[in-house]
Amino acid sequence: MRTIELVIIGGGSAGLASAISAYEHGIKDILILERDKELGGILQQCIHNGFGLHTFKEELSGPAYAERYIDKINEYKIEVKLNAMVTHLSKDRIIEYVTPDEGYVTLQAKAVILAMGCRERTRGAIAIPGYRPAGIWSAGTAQRYLNMEGYMVGKRIFILGSGDIGLIMARRMTLEGAKVLGVAEIMPYSNGLPRNIKQCLEDFDIPLYLSHTITRIEGKDRVNQITIQKVDERFQAIANTELTFDVDTVLFSVGLIPENALSEEADVTLHQKTKGPIVDETYQTDVPGIFACGNVLHVHDLVDWVSLEGQKAGISAARYLNHEVTSGKTIQMVAGEGLGYIVPHHINPSNVEKSIECMFRVTKTAKFVELVVKRDGQVLKRIKKRHLAPAEMERIVLTKDELMGCNESIRIEIGEVTL
């Protein structure tokens, strides 16, 4: 059985960035396992621009952003296996995968970086009654068909969910000649970026139905009609608010779930809120030598932060392989009032060089508030925020000094309005 220093599962934005940084930190024996026929992951189907503003200070399309990383992988001659589906991962880092060329292969990794990304939630996940006709797609699948394979999935479209993928697809299908009759969002606000609401919906007079959801899908062989209804504050449909639309296609853009089947098989503990692994300051999971980064860890809204996280995980894996990661006292990171979660979930200060960036999401929108950081129950610092929203990942930096003075936990919560 072949032994490899570092195996990266997934060749998307997180996997590519982690491979490059591990290589640049001295690890040369790296293998990337990618199930698609080329590297780049979901970026390859995201042909709209706006990627890379933070990383490259310019706006790139998804494929152009991916290409910058793929060029580096080629320059460093990092080994890549395409069409390689990982079927098993054990807690002692034995990996089994299949490819058309090699068949069934087993190998031993000294370290593994999980970079499998996430999956779209489906119609099944939100239980809408009706037949199961053709014409129902997750927005991302329709995006791949249209942008990479060249197939339009329908002519009269309704979209459920106003996250960015749904909004981007509303514009894309409209530009390609389809009629998008509307977008329904169960929440009273959209989780998409304001610029996407403006440039994808308002530019094309596509109505956005807030506090609405699809309650009925009609059609036996192919969708022919849907019904939407207004919902109350408990998301229950309100009677006599029905609106019907004659459509041949429904796109679902109803959230993303980290894809952790392999992680679970390797006994990696997952977090209830993020649905991704629980990690420490080195992005290491609770299984030694197995690291995680990108959307498999927690769902991001900007690819730039995925790349940055991949970069950090790559450096950590290199340090782990060089026996530079120490064990010791850990501090629990606690998501207080108004926060959904914090990544990393716990921190050993002795592995932090100067400072560490913690990422989190808030549970509701807020303007002109302060974030309160409490160390062992005492206020450590207050940070003013003009704007917080669940759709936008927030970051906060803790210095080594701030961590060293901590015994048990650091809690971040939303404080008073500060106008």
Q: Footprint of other proteins on this chain (CB under 8 A)? A: 37-38, 44, 47-49, 59-61, 63-64, 66-67, 146-150, 175-177, 193-195, 197-199, 203, 386-387, 389, 392
Min dist. Cβ of residue 45 to other proteins (A): 9
Q: Which is nearer to other proteins, 99 or 199 (CB)?
A: 199
Q: What's the min distance (Å) between Cβ of 146 and other proteins?
A: 8
Rounded Cα gap, residues 175 and 117, in angstroms: 29
Closer to other proteins by CB, 49 or 409: give it.
Answer: 49
Q: Which is nearer to other proteins, 131 or 368 (CB)?
A: 368
Closest separation in Å from C-beta 55 to other proteins: 16
> In the structure encoding, which two tokens stand for residue 72, read together?
């580096």
Distance CA 21, CA 229 (A): 49
Return the percent helix, strand and coil in the chain, to nearest 5.
Answer: 25, 35, 40
Amino acid at 192: G
Query: What minimum distance in Å lies between the beta carbon of 40 and other proteins?
Result: 9
Distances (CA, A) of 171 to 19, 103, 192, 252, 379: 34, 42, 13, 15, 46
Least distance in Å: CB of 120 to other proteins? Answer: 21
Question: Least distance in Å: CB of 53 to other proteins?
Answer: 11
Q: Which of 159, 154, 156, 155 is nearest to 139 (CA)?
A: 159
Q: Which is nearer to other proteins, 155 or 387 (CB)?
A: 387
Closer residue to other proteins, CB minimum distance, 176 or 242: 176
DSSP 357: E
CA distance 248 to 148: 22
271 versus 385: smaller Cβ distance to other proteins:
385
> Going edge to edge, which strands form the sheet with 249-252?
136-138, 249-252, 156-160, 179-185, 208-210
CA distances from 106 to 7, 49, 267, 299 (A): 12, 39, 19, 30
Residue owning tokens 């977008």: 183
**Closest CB to other proteins among 228 and 339?**
339
Give min distance, CB of 166 to other proteins, in A. 17
- Reduced to 3 states (helix: H, G, I; strand: E, B; else coil), residue 378 is strand
